[in-house]
A and B are shown apart, each in its own frame.
Chain A
Amino acid sequence: MKLIHEIKHLIHKEFLLEFRQKYAFAGVLLYVFSTVFICYLSFKKILIPANWNALFWIIVLFAAINAVTKSFLQESKGRQLYYYTLHSPVAVIISKIIYNSLLMISLSFLCFFCYGLLIKNIVQDIPFFILNITLGSFGFASVLTMVSAIASKTNNNFSLMAILSFPMLVPMLITLIKTSKYSVDGLDRSLSYPYFGVLLLINVLIIVLSVVLFPYLWRE
């Protein structure tokens, strides 16, 4: 019960921080929008489902790295020490994962909206595609949160962030591209179930690992 209370407080704090530093969120929004716009200018319309789908996920991937990287890096050593004295590490990591997932889900929906508006929406099974986006953003956010925590402990954290997170994200990305291709083509929904299973499995694994390992990382 105490843990849930702490998590609630920490998520509230994250929202407050985000609200106070509006430029960070606005920057990510601008990043997503300009990427989509550049793609629109270069492709005009993409009618081949495979290309449409792959490009969408690549945009979401880079947006995710940009959006989540700051979650640990933006906070100073002193402030992290302050949280350490106040909260249990499990509460800190869970709250960050929840917050980043919410951030990522809203970002990817926005991305989907802009992308569909400019580069024509060719998705045939929209509810399932949205389910894909939700699962995908949740997965990206949980991986990147933990990697960002690891990278924040090193000296040159921004370049390490990309090196450490890419190998973890790519398999997830491949799975996502495969399932969402089924919904773009409007194929039978039962085809995507095993992939959803994999995505859920990866997500659960990452969250369990984060909760188990973060207390060790946290210690200075």
Chain B
Amino acid sequence: MKKNWWKIAAVVLVLYSIIGGFLFKVPILPILHETIRNLYFHVTMWFAMIILLFVSVWNSVRYLSGFDIKYDIIAKEAVNISIVLGLCGLVTGMLWANYTWGEPWPNDPKLNGVAIAMLFYFAYLVLRNSIDEEQKRARIASIYNIFAFVMFIVFTIILPRLTDSLHPGNGGNPGFGNYEDIDNNMRIVFYPAIIGWTLIATWIMQIKIRYHTLNAFLNSNTN
């Protein structure tokens, strides 16, 4: 029980963000209106995704520095979960865009960057599946993962800032932080939601890592 407190915290925080997200007061703004509540879901899922991708690339680096297969399993599972989070973020984002910008896929550098980033990580999974030998697969996948992450940062964080984007914080559009859009009422839901989704993702990841580690152990014993 002592070790599991964060799982309870994950459930409580996500439940809180869902209930609070739908019921608490939000500022009334033109165009956005009630859709601003999507901030609690769309943005927080993306945050959790980026955190997990960072975990993944960190473990890839650790794999390359010691060639311990354990780190490769973590890297792979982190990518898997972040793809799920990324797709959820994409769907919620499209819903939001449909009601505020008029169409689900407006031509926006951030959207395109994210679509490309998803392609990167799908390519990562395809690459993994095309190599049979375990150590070799781990090594090559780690290299591609590091490559992909650096490019992902460039394409989704640096590049959109140079061009006009519909998203806040890009190309002259003020971000939520220095805008009075997001007031303290929203912050008390927004930050816990980020922590909640990250913890939920960590929990799923932990289960999957255990499953794969056990599988690897069983395979090595039967051979």
Residues of A at the B interface (CB closer than 8 Å) are 146, 150, 153-156, 160, 163-164, 166-168, 170-171, 174-175, 178, 194-195, 198, 201-202, 205, 209, 213, 216-217, 219
| Chain B, range 116-173, C-beta contacts under 8 Å to A | 116-117, 119-120, 123, 126-127, 130-132, 136, 139-140, 142-144, 146-148, 150-151, 154-155, 158-159, 162-163
- Could you tell me the dominant secondary structure of chain B's interface residues? helix
The reply to whether B123 and A146 form a contact with Cβ atoms under 8 Å apart is no
The reply to whether A171 and B159 form a contact with Cβ atoms under 8 Å apart is yes
B26 vs chain A, min Cβ distance (A): 35
Inter-chain contacts of A175 with B (CB < 8 A): 159
Inter-chain contacts of B158 with A (CB < 8 A): 198, 201
Q: Does B112 contact A (CB under 8 A)?
A: yes
Q: Does B104 contact A (CB under 8 A)?
A: no
The reply to whether B130 and A167 form a contact with Cβ atoms under 8 Å apart is no
Q: Does B50 contact A (CB under 8 A)?
A: no
Inter-chain contacts of A160 with B (CB < 8 A): 126-127, 130
The reply to whether A198 and B150 form a contact with Cβ atoms under 8 Å apart is no
The reply to whether A154 and B127 form a contact with Cβ atoms under 8 Å apart is yes
Partner of A216, one of B64, B130, B132, B159: B64
Chain B residue with the shortest CB-CB distance to A146: B147
**Complex formed: what's the CA distance from A201 to B154 in Å?**
9
The reply to whether A216 and B143 form a contact with Cβ atoms under 8 Å apart is yes
Q: Does B27 contact A (CB under 8 A)?
A: no
**Complex formed: what's the CA distance from A209 to B152 in Å?**
14
Inter-chain contacts of B64 with A (CB < 8 A): 213, 216
Inter-chain contacts of B142 with A (CB < 8 A): 216
The reply to whether A171 and B116 form a contact with Cβ atoms under 8 Å apart is yes
The reply to whether A202 and B140 form a contact with Cβ atoms under 8 Å apart is no
The reply to whether A155 and B132 form a contact with Cβ atoms under 8 Å apart is yes
